């Protein structure tokens, strides 16, 4: 093995030139379309740019930028300014709750279904096909369908009334809006988790379960000491991706509520609204939210990876 | 559905752990209920465990299918208020909405635009993601760790920060309102995950194959193209699926960057449609069904690769 590694490293020197050639397209595309906008976005956060004072083209006349550099004022205003709670912190708290609940539901439902699908049973591939389906439906179609179902006379409330349960106004009542958003996002997000975890389950050698059973391990013990550790690498990746994607889940909330429902807006949709949903559009504040979002995720990821590494060490 | 409901108590490979009631821990919350799988059954086949898992899976399948069936059903109702009284649609179901969508709107040209953009994104995105994934998987060049880390970080960028500056760049490059511009933007959003995924998949392909290829005189690029790519088909299928779906269903970028109505993609077209026809939900429902069909076709083509493709890498790492 060691020899192979050494050989590979030797070989890699001669491949250097190719390596850079092969990553070049991605680096260029990301650099131009993501890197530069990020830098520019960060610069905007230090100014008071709005749609009124940004340079633009009207007919043949070019109007130059006329916004000013204001330093860190935007950050101070978003974090500590008057009504900062309503504008930022309430959305921040809801975003964190939203992310935690959604990822937890995605993961636990996904794992449960994956374990059922991993058993040998009749109709397994049909079940699998049907259960992945929500992933294959474009989000705006999904959300549109859910909106019809959650509407006041829609299918969901029809079912609830049949069961003699209360019928909340899913698209109008603030708390019900949040539940509706979580419900829809769970429906959208489970298939990815389920399939990823199913792949993980299939890579756990059956011998481990046999050995555990020989040793008299109960079903729960086999789950706890064989399944979960066996899934650790897959889990750590999909949970991280899940957190990032859910935190930035723009489409579901935006399409479900449009410009209504101020309480149910998570930070991304709120930032979009500041930048596009109002007149004049506040580019600087919108970008400030964006940079804060990004920082939160980077901090989270750093701690998460450190925590993973520590766990890895502790578990050998 | 009918095949699924049948029970087969004689099936000896029922992996259902017999769920012996001697479990010494009472921890029976949601998770242990889905028993660990892959347990070689030892003679006892527990019928009720099978019934339970069929029941759960049927229930879950129903939930997964329902919204899709519901919208298809609503699309048959001829009036715009029909969605409020779904039960009444049964008596007057008609395909008239589809006729109107196909005949009286620009649906077909939006459809073509979406197909071009989604196809282009899939092709370009997967190709450059694959070459990056391969480079990171096989070559230890300076900065490969930072590259993967950067790819992860780009997943975290909220649209709100990017969309205005992207607009400026595209307008400077004369790429606003062009397929190329939108394809590149979509590639930029799909490539990070695809590269990550494919890198994981390439990691599972033995390095010896590359070395054999090199010994036989292939260049590193030739090795990648002729040996590794064909072997990585499941991974590529998943990456293609992901790219296609992202491009097919994206709204925010498309509605900002595609200015003329002849360049609208389906997602944008559908939105313009709402205001134009003043909430004709039944037409929107019909359009939605038409939009979902190609996605379903792509899905069906790749679905058997999904499980292996998605986690082959993540599981090993």
Nearest chain B residue (CA) to A211: B39
Residue A216 to residue B159: CA distance in whole angstroms: 52
Q: What is the pLDDT at residue B4?
A: 40
Which candidate from A33, A135, A294 shows the least CB-CB separation from B185?
A33
For the segment A234-245, the average pLDDT, to the nearest whole number, is 89
Strand partners, A58: A61
- Average of per-residue pLDDT across B117-146: 88
Contact flag B162-A41 (C-beta cutoff 8 Å): yes
A46-86 pLDDT per residue, tens:
888 887 777 766 666 777 777 778 888 888 888 888 888 88
CA B88 to CA B93: how far, in whole Å?
9
Give me the pLDDT at residue B58, please.
92
Q: Are A218 and B147 inside 8 Å of each other by CB? A: no
Q: Which residues on chain B are in Cβ contact (under 8 Å) with A148?
A: 70-71, 74, 83, 281, 285
Q: How many angstroms separate the CA of residue A93 from the nearest CA in chain B?
A: 17
- Let me know: does B231 contact B209? Beta carbons within 8 Å: yes
What residues of chain A lie within 8 A of the CB of B160, using their CB? 268, 271-272, 274-275, 286-287, 289-290
Residue of A nearest to B221 (CA): A18
- The per-residue DSSP string of B108-129 comes to HHHHHHHHHHHHHHHHHHHHHH
Task: With beta carbons under 8 A apart, name residues in chain A contacting B66.
Answer: 155
Q: Count CA atoms within 13 Å of residue A48 on its CB side.
A: 8
Q: What is the pLDDT of residue B1?
A: 38
Q: Which two tokens stand for residue B26?
A: 């009472």
* Cβ-defined contact of A113 to B155 (cutoff 8 Å): no
Q: From B157, which residue of chain A is nearest by alpha-carbon distance?
A: A294
Q: In angstroms, rounded to a whole number, what is the distance separating the alpha carbons of residues A240 and A243? A: 5
* A57 membership: H or E segment, kind and range: strand A56-58
User: What are A82-106's pLDDT values in tens digits?
Assistant: 888 888 899 999 999 999 999 999 9
pLDDT of amino acid B27: 41
Is the CB of B53 less than 8 angstroms away from the CB of A119? yes
Taking an 8 Å cut-off on Cβ atoms, the answer to whether A123 and B314 are in contact is no
> Which residues in chain A have Cβ-Cβ distances shorter than 8 Å to B34?
111-113, 115-116
Please give the pLDDT value at position A22: 84
Instruction: Indicate whether B83 pLDDT > 80.
Output: no
| pLDDT at site A57 | 66
Q: How far is B261 from chain A (nearest CA, A)?
A: 19
Q: Please tell me whether residue B316 adopts helix, strand or coil conformation.
A: helix
Q: Does B69 touch chain A (CB under 8 A)?
A: no
Which sequence spans correspond to the domains of chain B?
2-62, 103-316
Chain A positions in Cβ-Cβ contact with residue B42 (cut-off 8 Å): 213
Closest residue on chain A to B248 (Cα): A138
pLDDT, mean of residues B133-161: 81
The residue that leads in pLDDT, A2 or B128, is B128
Cβ of B251 and A142 within 8 Å? Answer: no
Residue A106: partners with Cβ closer than 8 Å, 6 or more residues away: A186, A189, A190, A192, A193, A242, A246
B153 touches A at CB < 8 Å? yes
Task: Spell out which residues of chain B touch residue A226, defining contact as CB-CB under 8 Å.
Answer: 36
Radius of gyration of chain A measured on its C-alpha atoms: 25
Residue B108 sits at the chain A interface (C-beta within 8 Å): no
Residue B40 vs residue B216, higher pLDDT: B216
Higher pLDDT, A228 or A11: A228
| Dist CA B285 CA B292 (whole Å) | 11
CA separation, residue B125 to residues A26, A127, A206, B43, B307 (Å): 9, 30, 37, 50, 21
Q: Which of A95, A89, A93 lies closest to A77 in space, CA to CA?
A: A89
Give pLDDT, residue B34: 47
Q: Is B301 on the interface with A (CB under 8 A)?
A: no
pLDDT surpassing 60 at residue A115: yes
Mean pLDDT, to the nearest integer, of B218-230?
87
What pTM, to 2 d.p., does this model score? 0.81
pLDDT exceeds 70 at position B198: yes
Q: What is the percentage of chain A residues whose pLDDT exceeds 90?
A: 18
Chain A: nearest CA to B19, how far in angstroms? 6
pLDDT band at A134 (very low <50, low <70, confident <90, very high): confident
Q: Above 80 in pLDDT, residue B180?
A: yes
pLDDT, tens digit, for every residue of B14-61? 344 444 333 344 444 444 444 555 454 443 457 888 888 899 999 999
Q: Which of B135, B147, B162 sits opposite A37 (nearest CB)?
A: B162
pLDDT at B164 over 50: yes
Q: Which domains does chain A have, with CATH numbers?
A: 84-314 (1.10.3720.10)
pLDDT band for position B123 (50/70/90)?
very high
**Quick one: average pLDDT of A300-314?**
87
Contact present, B114 and B248 (Cβ < 8 Å): yes
Nearest-neighbour CA in chain A from B292: distance (Å): 6
Q: What is the pLDDT of residues B267-314, one digit of tens each?
A: 888 776 666 556 677 888 888 888 888 888 888 888 878 777 776 555
Nearest residue on chain B to A9, judged by CA atoms?
B140
Q: Identify the pLDDT of residue A44.
A: 84
Based on its alpha-carbon atoms, the radius of gyration of chain B, rounded to whole angstroms, reads 25
DSSP assigned state of B132? H
Cα–Cα distance for residue pair A34/B150, rounded to 1 Å = 11
- A6 vs A309, higher pLDDT: A309
Least confident segment among A294-298, B214-218, B270-274: B270-274
Contacting B residues, span 223-262, partner chain A, CB-CB under 8 Å:
224, 241, 245, 248-249, 251-252, 256
Best residue of B11, B32, B36 to probe chain A, by most A CBs closer than 10 Å: B36
Model confidence at A133: pLDDT above 80: yes
- CATH code for the domain defined by B103-316: 1.10.3720.10
Average pLDDT over residues B196-212: 87
Average pLDDT over chain A, rounded to an integer: 84
Name the pLDDT band for B2 (thresholds 50, 70, 90).
very low
Contact B282, B83 (CB under 8 A): yes
**In this structure, is the dihedral angle defined by the CA atoms of residues A65, A71, A75 and A78, taken in order, positive or negative?**
negative
Report the alpha-carbon distance of residue A233 to residue A223 in Å, rounded.
16
**What proportion of chain A, given as a percentage, has pLDDT over 70?**
93
CB contact under 8 A, B64 and A222: no
pLDDT at position A8: 62
Residue A161's contacts (CB-CB under 8 Å, 6 or more residues apart) are A167
* pLDDT tens digits for range A177-209: 999 999 999 999 999 899 889 888 888 888 888
Tokens, residue A180: 């509706």
> What distance in Å separates residue B162's CA from the closest CA in chain A?
5
* Structure letter (DSSP) for residue B209: H
Pick B64's closest partner by Cβ from A130, A146, A203. A130
């Amino acid at each position: 093995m060691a020899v192979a590694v050494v050989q590979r490293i030797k070989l890699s020197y001669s491949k250097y030139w190719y390596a850079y050639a092969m990553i070049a397209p991605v680096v260029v595309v990301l650099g131009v379309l993501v890197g530069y906008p990020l830098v520019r976005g960060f610069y905007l956060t230090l100014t008071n740019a709005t749609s009124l004072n940004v340079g633009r083209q009207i007919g043949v006349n070019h109007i130059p930028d006329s916004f000013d550099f204001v330093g860190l004022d935007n950050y101070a205003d978003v974090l500590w300014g008057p009504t900062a709670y309503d504008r930022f912190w309430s959305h921040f708290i809801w975003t964190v709750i939203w992310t935690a609940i959604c990822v937890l539901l995605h993961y636990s439902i996904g794992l449960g279904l994956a374990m059922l699908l991993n058993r040998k049973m009749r109709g397994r591939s049909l079940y699998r096909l049907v259960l992945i389906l929500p992933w294959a439906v474009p989000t705006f179609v999904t959300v549109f369908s859910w909106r019809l179902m959650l509407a006041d006379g829609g299918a969901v409330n029809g079912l609830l009334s049949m069961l003699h349960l209360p019928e909340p106004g899913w698209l109008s009542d603030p708390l019900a809006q949040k539940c509706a958003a979580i419900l829809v996002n769970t429906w959208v997000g489970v298939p990815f988790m389920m399939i990823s975890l199913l792949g993980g389950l299939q890579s756990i050698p059956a011998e481990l379960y046999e050995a555990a059973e020989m040793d008299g391990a109960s079903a729960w013990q086999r789950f706890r000491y064989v399944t979960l550790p066996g899934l650790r690498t897959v889990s750590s990746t999909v949970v991280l991706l899940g957190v990032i994607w859910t935190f930035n889940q723009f489409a579901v909330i935006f399409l479900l509520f449009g410009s209504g429902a101020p309480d149910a807006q998570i930070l991304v949709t709120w930032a979009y609204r500041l930048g596009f949903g109002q007149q004049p559009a506040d580019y600087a504040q919108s970008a400030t939210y964006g940079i804060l979002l990004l920082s939160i995720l980077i901090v989270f990821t750093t701690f998460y990876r450190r925590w993973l590494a520590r766990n890895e060490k502790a578990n050998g | 559905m009918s095949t699924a409901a049948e029970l087969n108590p004689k099936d000896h490979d029922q992996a259902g752990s017999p769920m012996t009631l001697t479990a010494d821990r009472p921890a029976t919350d949601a998770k242990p209920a889905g028993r660990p799988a892959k347990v070689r059954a030892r003679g006892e086949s527990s019928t009720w465990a099978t019934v339970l898992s069929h029941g759960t899976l049927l229930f879950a399948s129903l939930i997964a299918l329902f919204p899709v069936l519901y919208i298809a059903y609503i699309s048959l109702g001829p009036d715009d208020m029909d969605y409020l009284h779904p039960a009444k649609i049964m008596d007057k179901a008609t395909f008239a909405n589809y006729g109107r969508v196909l005949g009286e709107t620009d649906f077909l040209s939006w459809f073509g635009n979406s197909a071009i953009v989604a196809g282009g994104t899939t092709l370009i995105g997967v190709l450059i993601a694959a070459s990056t994934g391969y480079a990171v998987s096989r070559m230890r060049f300076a900065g490969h760790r930072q590259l993967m880390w950067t790819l992860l970080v780009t997943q975290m960028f909220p649209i709100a920060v990017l969309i205005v500056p992207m607009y400026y760049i595209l307008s400077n490059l004369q790429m606003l309102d062009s397929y190329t511009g939108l394809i590149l933007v979509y590639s930029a959003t799909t490539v990070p995950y695809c590269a990550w995924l494919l890198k994981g998949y390439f990691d599972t392909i033995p390095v010896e194959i590359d070395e054999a290829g090199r010994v036989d005189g292939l260049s590193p690029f030739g090795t990648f193209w002729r040996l590794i790519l064909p072997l990585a088909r499941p991974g590529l299928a998943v990456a293609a699926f992901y790219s296609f779906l992202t491009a097919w269903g994206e709204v925010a970028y498309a509605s900002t960057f595609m200015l003329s109505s002849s360049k609208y993609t389906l997602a944008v077209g559908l939105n313009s449609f709402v205001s134009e026809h003043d909430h004709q939900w039944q037409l929107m429902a019909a359009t939605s069904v038409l939009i979902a069909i190609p996605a379903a076709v792509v899905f069906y083509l790749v679905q058997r690769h999904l499980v292996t493709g998605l986690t082959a890498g993540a599981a090993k790492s």
